Amino acid sequence: MQIGSSATSGSRDAGLWARAFAVLYDPFLWAGEKAGVGALRQGLLTRASGTTVELGSGTGLNLRFYSETLDELILTEPEAAMRRRLARRLRREQRSSRVLDASGECLPFEDESVDTVISTFVLCTVDAPDVALQEIKRVLRPGGKLLFLEHVRSGSPRLAHWQDRLAGPWQRFAEGCRCNRATGELVRSSGLEIEEMHEAGWRAMPPIVRPLLSGVATKAAGASDA
């Protein structure tokens, strides 16, 4: 394992709640992982290949699902408290990976140098998801894939109304997460080609984060990065 820091990082020093959130993250998600999200992660992540970059790796809940045969696995995470837990999990699971202090809006990779980008429960949290999606498109090689699993704005007006009402408190509780973000629409309008998009439900979690989308979006050959 190498822990790196990048000049282009969105590095953040953890405040008290950020540190507490990093400690509570795995226990808070535990029931939801068991109730189906673990299986969704597994189904998605076994499709990663080549040079693979994960955005906002958090505590590393995806680690156990990556194949050992990837050319390289690079984990990015801008929050120091999360990065510490990620480093601990890498040591525990004896996985080899580079960890970079970088945000999704400013990825420290060359154009068209990455085969797979992973985003699980991250596009809800980045401040500028449209910018992050353009960065993903820039770094992907033609034919490269974004594999995503995100909670999204509900298609039900009633639940969407509650997502809007509770967006502020939830954002404060969940370290910047926007429970009412229409991430599926953002991926659709990014210029990446949607190969697959599936709806699911995040059981054992609060209703405002229950609607999920998982899928694969590809950078078409000859696609402009602009």
What one-character DSSP code corresponds to residue 118? E
Q: Which stretch binds ligand SAM (CB under 6 A): 72-80, 138-146, 186-194, 212-220?
A: 72-80
CA distance 55 to 176: 15
125 binds ligand SAM (CB under 6 A): yes
Tell me the C-alpha to C-alpha distance, in Å, between residue 57 and each of 95, 99, 207: 14, 9, 24
Structure tokens at 162: 């509650």
CB of 37 to ligand SAM, least distance (A): 9
DSSP lists the bridge partners of residue 73 as 52
97 binds ligand SAM (CB under 6 A): no
Closest CA to 65 of 85, 88, 39: 39
What one-character DSSP code corresponds to residue 206? -
Instruction: Out of 53, 77, 147, 209, name the contact with ligand SAM by CB under 6 A.
Output: 77
CB of 89 to ligand SAM, least distance (A): 11
Positions in 2-41 near ligand SAM (CB under 6 A): 10
Instruction: Out of 82, 136, 209, 213, name the contact with ligand SAM by CB under 6 A.
Output: 82
DSSP lists the bridge partners of residue 117 as 53, 146
What one-character DSSP code corresponds to residue 192? P
Is the CB of residue 57 less than 8 Å from the CB of residue 50? no
55 binds ligand SAM (CB under 6 A): yes
> How many residues lie near ligand SAM (CB under 6 A)?
22
Q: Which stretch binds ligand SAM (CB under 6 A): 63-71, 118-126, 196-204, 205-213?
A: 118-126
Kindly tell me which of 80 and 194 has the beta carbon lying closer to ligand SAM: 80
Instruction: Out of 63, 99, 117, 126, name the contact with ligand SAM by CB under 6 A.
Output: 126
Closest CA to 105 of 121, 87, 125: 125
Give the footprint of ligand SAM on this chain (CB under 6 A): 10, 55-58, 61-62, 77-79, 82, 103-105, 120-122, 125-127, 176-177
